[in-house]
Chains A and B, each alone.
Chain A
Amino acid sequence: MKILSIDTSCDETAAGVTENTRVLSNIIWSQAFAHAKFGGVMPSLAQRMHEERIDWVIEKAIRKSHTKFENLDAIAVTVGPGLSIALGVGIDRAKKLSLKYNKKLIAVNHLEAHVLSCFAQPKTSKVSVPKPKFPALGLVVSGGNTILVKIKKIGSYEILAQTADDALGEALDKAARMLGLGYPGGAVLEKMAKLGNPEAYNLPTPIQGQENRKIFTYSGLKTAMSRLIESEKPLTKQKIYNLSSSFQNVAFSHLIRVCSHIFRSGESEYASLLVGGGVSANIELRKRLRKLGKETGIKISFPYSQKLTGDNAAMIGVTAYFKAKQGLFENPTKLDRKPNAKIND
Chain B
Amino acid sequence: MRIIKKDKETAIKAVEVLKKGGLVIYPTETLYGIGADATNFRAVKKLTAYKNRPFGKPYSIAVTDKKMAEEYVELNSTARNLYKEFLPGPVTIVSRGKHKVARGVESEDGTLGIRISDVKLVTEIVKKLAKPITATSANASYKKRPYSVTDVLENISEKQKKLIDLIIDAGELPHKEPSTVIDTTLDDPVTLRQGEIKLTNKNELLSRSEENTKNIAKELWQKYEAHMGKRAIVFALQGEMGAGKTIFTKGLAQAMDIRELVTSPTFALENEYGTGSKKLFHFDAWRLEGPSEMHSLGFDELIKGNKVLSIEWAERVSSVIRQFDDSAIIVWVELKFGKGDNDRLISWGVSK
Contacts and interface: CB of A to CB of B under 8 A. Distances in A.
Interface of A: 27, 32-36, 38-45, 47, 49, 53, 56, 64, 81-85, 143-144, 162-167, 169-170, 174, 177-178, 180-185, 187-188, 191, 219, 222-227, 235-237, 240, 339-340
Contacts of A35: 180-181
The 10 closest A-B CB pairs, nearest first, are A44-B296, A32-B107, A144-B267, A222-B242, A36-B183, A182-B182, A223-B242, A182-B183, A183-B186, A237-B85
Contacts of A44: 292-293, 295-296
Contacts of B168: none
Contacts of B92: 33
Interface string B150-188: 000000000000000000000000000110111111110
Nearest to B296: A44
Contacts of B78: 180, 182
Contacts of B108: 32, 45, 49
A174 B241 contact: yes
Contacts of B54: 53, 56
A34 to B, nearest CB: 6
A222 B241 contact: yes
Contact of B289 (A42, A49, A143, A165): A42
Contacts of A36: 94, 181, 183
B185 A40 contact: yes
B244 interface: yes
Contacts of A183: 183, 186-187, 287
Contacts of B182: 181-182, 185, 188
A188 B184 CA distance: 12
A143 B210 CA distance: 24
Nearest to B268: A144
Contacts of A42: 109, 288-290, 293, 296
A79 to B, nearest CB: 15
A224 B109 CA distance: 34
28 contacts: A32-B58, A33-B107, A33-B113, A40-B185, A41-B288, A41-B289, A42-B296, A45-B108, A53-B54, A64-B142, A85-B296, A162-B261, A164-B261, A165-B246, A166-B246, A174-B266, A178-B241, A178-B242, A180-B81, A180-B82, A182-B78, A182-B184, A185-B182, A191-B180, A219-B210, A219-B246, A235-B85, A339-B272
